[in-house]
Chains A and B, each alone.
Chain A
Amino acid sequence: MVLENEPIPFGDWIAPALLFFLQAAGILALLALVGGYLIAAFRYGPLDGGDRVFRFLKRGLGDLIALSPRRVMALAWLAVQESLRRRVLVGFGVFLLILLFAGWFLDTDSNDPATLYISFVLTATTYLVLLMALFLSVFSLPADIKNKTIHTVVTKPVRPGEIVLGRIIGFSLIGTMLLALMGVFSYFFVVRLLNHTHEVEVASLEPLPGGSSDQRAGRTEPEHSHRHEVTLEADGTGSTNTVNGHWHEIDPVEDGDETRYVLGPPRGMFNARVPEYGELRFRDRSGAAVSRGINVGNEWKYRSFIEGATLAAAVWRFDGITPERYGDSLPIEMTVRVFRSHKGDIEQPIRGTLKLRNPRNIGIESAVEVFQAKDGTVNPIEIPRKLTTPEGRTIDLFEDLAPEGELEIEMQCLDSGQYFGVAKADLYLRARDASFQVNFIKGFLGIWVRMLLVTSLGVMFSTFLSGPVAMLATLAALVLGTSTGFIFDVAAGTVEGGGPAESFIRLVQQKNVTVQLEPGLTTDVVKAADVVFMAVMTSVTSLLPDFGQFDSVEYVAHGYDIPPDLLLVQVLSGVGFVIAMFAIGYFFLRMREVAR
């Protein structure tokens, strides 16, 4: 996986996030209070108005205390019944249909079918569940008000907050149930469709050249559009090489007087790697230490670049390198982005080198190992325990290079005029693997949190908007929440073409985004309008959760363990958001004359 953002550690996130939450809540509450008082004072006079606001607050507190789990669950149960009545299960049917046809159009030829399949099912699940959450949450309360069924409910001792909360919980229960079903089906879909074995092509077996006398090598028959090379030991057991992200074990089976070689199920296809990250420093072309490398343009901001055939280098420093943890070799995986300043020989990959060094004793280092960079793909390298120095002396990885458990890995680019781009997370130690199944569930938890966000957002809007309008509002919030980065960029003026008004003018006048608008009154007005637009949009956006942060599909699909910190951040921001939606929904529902 090529990360484009580094996940924030939970410890760094929680304090500012909590502060932001409290700030936003405080400001919103203050605005509501002042606005409420002004309206009340205007309608009932300053004294009576103040009294009304005070009673409103007092009763709000009372309502919170009187919140009854039984009532909330009754309303949640009603929401569940309503959803079932509205045939949510059809959504699940659609999902099964999608899975059924997915087998046809998903490409088993792909050189990473697991990634393709997993990201497909997770994405399909996400869209379906979010769509369903949207439809359920947004139409329920307006329909209840329109049918006047709400009249018999609010004339019971039901607090407005219970109506909001009951709906959020009810629809989330339905969503959870659907997600669980989809999760189970997705899992078996992926595992079953990618499961396969091969026959060993017995005729191809020959003594292994250069191997010990009774080892044999050959290949398998093709299956799922690929075949493997096989290596068999004297006793007939063996293994295949890794193709399309997996390999097989081989066992001999006596069948009468011949021996057949049977391949097991694919191995190593579904992973949940737990990367161990180090600290990254750079050296510039003259070899001086710098904190960042070269910037080759905005699109590439996340990574720093080192120039080929100079002294420029990227240096990672790792901790905790012990034989207890890593055994006989150090598995590292790396990704580089290649930036060519000239075409060079386009057929030839750009080459780079890796070197290991003892950070406490600069003199002790390994000889360079040359690698060929494939742009943006993960390249696994197994570093053996016994290494040689540039002078040809044998050294031990743990004893000589990392006696204190600390190790530096230095990367350089060999080809002149070409650049390697790297970030901290691009070279890591693959310390261990977590369970894929658990990771799969964690991925679904990310979808679950998003479902919760959409549901609470939809219910909140439906307390004061009609169904279709609430749906549009929720969709708008989703779009804003998914494109936070872009919106802040537009507001900062770093995006060509300006804000919505200017873009509209450009669209109508068929002007390219880089063409200067004619100076004059119209242009000034348009630009001023955009300033207002963007002020509103940024303030709304900054209140919305960044939806991108809940997307952990990539992690699961590319076989990386979802960091527990990320999961915690997701769940906590989800819960915080639901609380906020609950409060706003309560406010609007209480202000509302439901019998109108």
Chain B
Amino acid sequence: MPPDVVVETQNLTKVYRDFWGRRKVRALRALDMEIRRGEIFGLLGPNGSGKTTTIKLLLGLLFPTSGKALVFGRDATDVSKNERIGYLPEESYLYRFLNAEETLDFYGRLFDMPAKVRRERAAELITLVGLNKDKRRQLKEYSKGMARRIGLAQAMINDPDFILLDEPTSGLDPIGTREIKDLIIRLKEQGKTVLMSSHLLADVQDVCDRIAILHQGELKELGRVDSLLKLRDETEIRARGLSAEAQAEIRAVIERHQGNVLMMDNPTTTLEDLFLSIVRDSEARPGRRARPEEEK
């Protein structure tokens, strides 16, 4: 295995069986893929398509029914690989009776980190995920998004080389989502490898270099995001200041060339963009409701 391959699966298959060994679900079929160092890899697919199963197999939380999963060239069930990885589960499975500081300290101790390092690292991460105000509150009081944030901090306690994020943006508000995406991109800039799963295409599209699309446990598509998303036989036209006559003229030109017009409209900004600009405004000028239209 070349040194810059972080994950390699060969014919990886998982069949969930019931207590009596009878087959229940074939959650993953013969998955072959590679994740290289420094890339952001997205696992896509509808609910129940096997994303979480794949991640758990890579972590050694599940044992493969057949095939192999290698992480850093070692078998996925080998505990020593965990020194270099971080994992954010689908839901934040943390100890509800601990507060944020205690949580990070506990996980830091599991990495055998000395007390001083743990303290510094915990403070840094709490600031990073924006939980400074709430760091002394027990996690059971946390909202879903706050729990997600502390889960993320927990996954980065050891400054891992490879981070597995199972639906990192679920439960987060749009700012949180944006922050996470920025964070993921920052991690990539630091040379880290990220594997994230999601069924929110927009998230994946924004950050991932390569994606794999799973459906009912089978790999449907694997490749670079830009090439996958480029639709070579469609053209998008956007212009400003066209009169109705000019528009009709362009329409006629397209029809003359046997094309059909899919859409020609005044483009609107996306809801996400709008929400973001409102929030940014209100942060810049606190205390007053942002009303962009009235200002004009």
Contact = CB atoms under 8 A, between A and B. Distances in A.
Contact of A157 (B16, B98, B112): B112
Nearest to A149: B93
B197 interface: no
A30 interface: no
A78 interface: yes
A63 interface: yes
B142 interface: no
A155 B157 CA distance: 12
A156 B82 contact: yes
A52 to B, nearest CB: 10
B82 A71 contact: no
Interface stretch (A177-185, A321-329, A538-546, A588-596): A588-596
B98 A63 contact: no
A290 interface: no
Interface string B58-91: 0111110000000000000011101101010101
B62, B87, B93 interface centre (most CB from chain A within 10 Å) = B93
A68 B16 CA distance: 34
A34 interface: no
Contacts of B82: 155-158
For chain B, the bracket of interface size reads 20 to 34
Nearest to B98: A81
B251 interface: no
A83 to B, nearest CB: 11
Contacts of B107: 152, 156
B106 A595 contact: no
Contacts of A229: none
A593 B17 CA distance: 12
Contact of A147 (B16, B61, B93, B154): B93
A33 interface: no
Interface string A72-87: 0111011001100100
Contact of B62 (A74, A81, A593): A593
B79 A71 contact: no
A157 B16 CA distance: 26
A448 B83 CA distance: 37
A158 B106 contact: no
Contacts of A593: 61-63
A595 B61 contact: yes
A152, A593, A596 interface centre (most CB from chain B within 10 Å) = A152
A66 B83 CA distance: 12
Contacts of A78: 95, 106
A151 B111 CA distance: 15
Contacts of A159: 79
Contacts of B93: 147-152
A70 B85 CA distance: 19
Contacts of B79: 63, 66, 154, 157-159
Contacts, number: 79
B284 to A, nearest CB: 37
B106 to A, nearest CB: 6
A281 B109 CA distance: 63
A59 interface: yes
B110 interface: yes
A68 B112 contact: yes
B215 interface: no
A55 to B, nearest CB: 8
Contacts of A75: 110
Given A157-B79, A595-B61, A149 B95 contact: yes
A150 B56 CA distance: 13
A28 interface: no
A153 interface: yes
A5 to B, nearest CB: 45
Contacts of B85: 155
B226 to A, nearest CB: 32
A227 B260 CA distance: 117
B141 to A, nearest CB: 14
Contacts of A82: 95, 97
Contacts of A157: 79-80, 82-83, 110-112
B22 to A, nearest CB: 14
Contacts of A596: 16, 62
A157 B158 CA distance: 11
A337 to B, nearest CB: 56
Contacts of B111: 156-157
B134 to A, nearest CB: 19
B94 interface: yes
Interface in B40-69: 56, 59-63
A407 B91 CA distance: 79
A71 B106 contact: no
B61 A152 contact: no
Nearest to A74: B109
Contacts of B98: 81
A150 B112 CA distance: 18
Contacts of A66: 79-80
Contacts of A154: 60-61, 79
A78, A151, A593 interface centre (most CB from chain B within 10 Å) = A151
Contacts of B112: 68, 70-71, 157
Contacts of B158: 156
B140 to A, nearest CB: 10
Given A66-B80, A155-B87, 11 more contacts: A66-B79, A71-B112, A74-B109, A81-B95, A148-B91, A150-B93, A151-B89, A154-B79, A155-B59, A157-B83, A596-B62
Interface of B: 16, 56, 59-63, 78-80, 82-83, 85, 87, 89, 91, 93-95, 97-98, 106-107, 109-112, 151, 154, 158
* For the complex of A and B, 9 pairs with smallest distance between CB atoms: A74-B109, A595-B61, A156-B110, A148-B93, A85-B97, A155-B87, A157-B82, A149-B93, A595-B56
11 contacts: A62-B80, A70-B109, A81-B98, A150-B93, A152-B93, A152-B154, A155-B82, A156-B82, A157-B80, A157-B82, A157-B111
